[in-house]
Amino acid sequence: MKTERRMFEAIVQFVYNETKKSPHLLIPISGGSDGAVTVKICKEACPEKTIAIHAGHNLLCRDWFESICPVEFIETPGRPEDAEEMRWGCFLARSLRLKGRLIGNRNRTEDLLGNYSLASCAANLLPIVNLWKSEVMDICEYIGVPEEILASSLKPDPDCGRPPELAAISFETIEKFLKFQIEEAELEDVSTLLDQPEFTYLLEMFKRNAFKRCLPVRGPRP
């Protein structure tokens, strides 16, 4: 657990340093492991500032989240097909009313694969964006996140960018694929990790979402 403690404490210190002048930290949560770790990090860094917010009323392990920090619940207005955009619009509006920071819980696996919505880019601080999903899960165990939350991370969740096809592939396999793509790992035959349909699926997603890794695109000075 030494590695998990070191990573956790380093990010806590980062959030503390980054948000000294922010009166509140608002963290959108869906009931998953990424939100659980982010809430715990922010609470450790800024005990009096941290607030979680959830769209809907069926928050998994609500009692656990509320034992960490206050949790606000909102209804998502508008049409069902616009729910993601409206949800993040409400999160952003709430953070502005609080004069606080809107905290995202995107991890490195999602960040590189690009399976997150453009609406979620409203968040202006991403504490765990350099942690692989497997590292997030390890930290979950270190800080005592309930098993129900850990199990939920293995299930499909299209609203959070994890369709059934992606949920069927393990975190470790996806991470090996991504490390191969960005050359962080030794060159190896990826075909030994994935069957052809899985490899094609991940490669298409990686290429399709490549533009997100360059956002926002800034124009030149004429």
Instruction: Give pLDDT tens digits for 2-56.
Output: 899 999 999 999 999 999 999 999 999 999 999 999 999 999 999 999 999 999 9
108-130 pLDDT, tens digit each? 999 999 999 999 999 999 999 99
As a whole number, mean pLDDT of residues 192-219 equals 89
What are the structural domain ranges in the chain?
2-152, 169-209
What span, in angstroms and rounded, lies between the C-alpha atoms of 70 and 148?
A: 20
Q: Given this model, what pLDDT does residue 164 score?
A: 83
Length of the chain counted residue by residue: 222
Q: Checking phi first, is residue 76 left (phi over 0); if not, alpha (psi -120 to 50) or beta?
A: beta
**Angle, helices 133-143/2-18, rounded to nearest 10 degrees:** 100
The pTM (predicted TM-score) of the whole model is 0.92
CATH architecture of 2-152: 3-Layer(aba) Sandwich (3.40)
What span, in angstroms and rounded, lies between the C-alpha atoms of 211 and 27?
A: 25
H-only helix segments in the chain: 2-18, 33-45, 62-68, 83-98, 108-113, 133-143, 147-152, 164-167, 171-181, 196-208
